């Protein structure tokens, strides 16, 4: 049985999630405490030493993210629950952490439980949560780092170190400034949704570039962008206007 704590300031939300777990996963989860605040959650975590915490993001006084700043050690998994806040969801995604959108339903909960049970731990929960806090403390949409899901786990990379991303069927290759290449078993679209749109621009069905490292755009004959490392990448006719507008806006 997985020792579990539910943290949510709304009584109905706490009770509903507990009932879902009891109804559909009674053989998997043992709910040890229902907490309505971060302070209550800290007390329950210290008392019960849970393996999993369902944590609401938006709460009065202290939001869910404050929990990690007040704990010395994080030795449990976290699944965030939230009704809104795109910025928070983007930060959670970039940190490779799981979340559920409210109102929570059985299908979404089932998928999250499956991911929890098959999760790879190469990047520890502590690392990913610290990455989340670092990105949130940054205070803007251009997150400092991203957790990239590799075949063996996760690799934490600074977004500013990514030169471009290249699609290869259902895989994606990340090319970094130092020449390092990271191959991911994810599509380019998946990676595109994680990276900040203020910095990364899709220029072709197969390429996503960091606008900070574009040095030249050749619009005669072939449409090509040249990057700081000397490489040239194609720009599709369909993406040409969006790319030009992104460059002009950035300047």
According to CATH, the topology of domain 140-250 is OB fold (Dihydrolipoamide Acetyltransferase, E2P) (2.40.50)
**Helices 125-138 and 86-94 meet at what angle, rounded to 10?**
140
What mean pLDDT is predicted for residues 68-85? 87
Q: Distance (Å, rounded) from C-alpha 184 to C-alpha 130?
A: 22
* Prior bond of 103 cis (ω within 30°): yes
Q: Among 192, 90, 69, which residue's Cα sits nearest to residue 140?
A: 90
* CATH numeric code, 2-136: 3.40.50.2300
pLDDT, position 154 = 82
- At residue 134, the pLDDT reads 82
Structure confidence at residue 19 (pLDDT): 97
Across the chain, mean pLDDT equals 89
**Contacts of residue 26, Cβ cutoff 8 Å, sequence gap at least 6:** none
User: Residue 150's pLDDT band (boundaries 50, 70, 90)?
Assistant: confident
- 115-129, 132-146, 213-227: least confidently modelled range: 115-129
State yes or no: pLDDT of 138 exceeds 80.
Answer: no
Query: Both tokens of residue 33?
Result: 């405490």
Q: What is the pLDDT of residues 186-225, one digit of tens each?
A: 899 989 988 888 899 999 999 999 999 999 998 877 899 9
Give the DSSP letter string of 116-168.
HHT---SS-HHHHHHHHHHHHHH-SSS-SEEEEEETTEEEEEEGGGEEEEEEE
Higher pLDDT, 88 or 157: 157
* Banded model confidence at residue 166, pLDDT cuts 50, 70, 90: very high
The pairing of beta strand 145-150 with beta strand 98-101: unpaired
**Structural domain spans, the chain:** 2-136, 140-250
Torsion of CA 174, 234, 197, 139, to 10 degrees: 60
Whether 251 shows a pLDDT value over 60: the answer reads no
Asked, colleague to colleague, whether 2-136 and 140-250 share their fold, the answer is: no
* Section 109-116 average pLDDT: 91
pLDDT at 196: 85
- pLDDT, tens digit (0-9, with 9 covering 90-100), for 31-51: 999 999 999 999 999 999 999
Confidence of residue 123 (pLDDT cuts 50, 70, 90): low
Higher pLDDT, 72 or 111: 111
User: Tens digit of pLDDT for each residue in 80-109?
Assistant: 999 876 777 888 888 878 999 999 999 999
Nearest-5° angle of CA 51, CA 105, CA 6?
Answer: 30
pTM above the 0.85 mark? no
pLDDT band at 139 (very low <50, low <70, confident <90, very high): low
Distinct helix (H) and strand (E) counts, the chain? 8, 15
- Helix, strand, coil shares, percent, the chain, to 5: 35, 30, 35
């Amino acid at each position: 049985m997985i020792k579990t704590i539910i943290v949510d300031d709304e009584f109905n939300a706490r009770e509903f999630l507990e009932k879902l777990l009891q109804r559909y996963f009674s053989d998997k989860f043992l709910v040890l405490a229902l907490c309505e605040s971060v302070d209550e959650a800290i007390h329950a975590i210290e008392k019960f030493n849970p393996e999993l915490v369902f944590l609401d993001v938006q709460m009065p006084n202290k939001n869910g993210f404050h929990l990690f700043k007040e704990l010395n050690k994080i030795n449990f998994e976290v699944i965030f629950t939230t009704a809104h806040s795109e910025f928070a969801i983007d930060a959670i995604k970039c940190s490779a952490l799981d979340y559920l959108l409210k109102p929570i339903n059985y299908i979404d909960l089932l998928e999250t439980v499956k991911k929890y049970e098959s999760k790879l731990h190469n990047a520890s929960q502590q690392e990913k949560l610290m990455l989340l806090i670092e990105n949130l403390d940054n205070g803007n949409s251009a997150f400092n780092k991203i957790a990239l899901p590799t075949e063996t786990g996760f690799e934490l990379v600074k977004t500013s170190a990514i030169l471009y991303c290249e699609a290869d069927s259902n895989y994606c290759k990340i090319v970094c400034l130092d020449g390092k290449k990271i191959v991911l078993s994810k599509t380019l679209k998946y990676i595109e949704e994680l990276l900040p749109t203020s910095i990364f621009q899709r220029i072709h069905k197969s390429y996503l570039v960091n606008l900070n490292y574009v040095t030249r755009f050749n619009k005669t004959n072939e449409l090509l962008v040249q990057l700081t490392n000397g490489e040239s990448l194609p720009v599709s006719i369909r993406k040409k206007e969006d790319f030009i507008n992104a460059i002009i806006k950035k300047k």
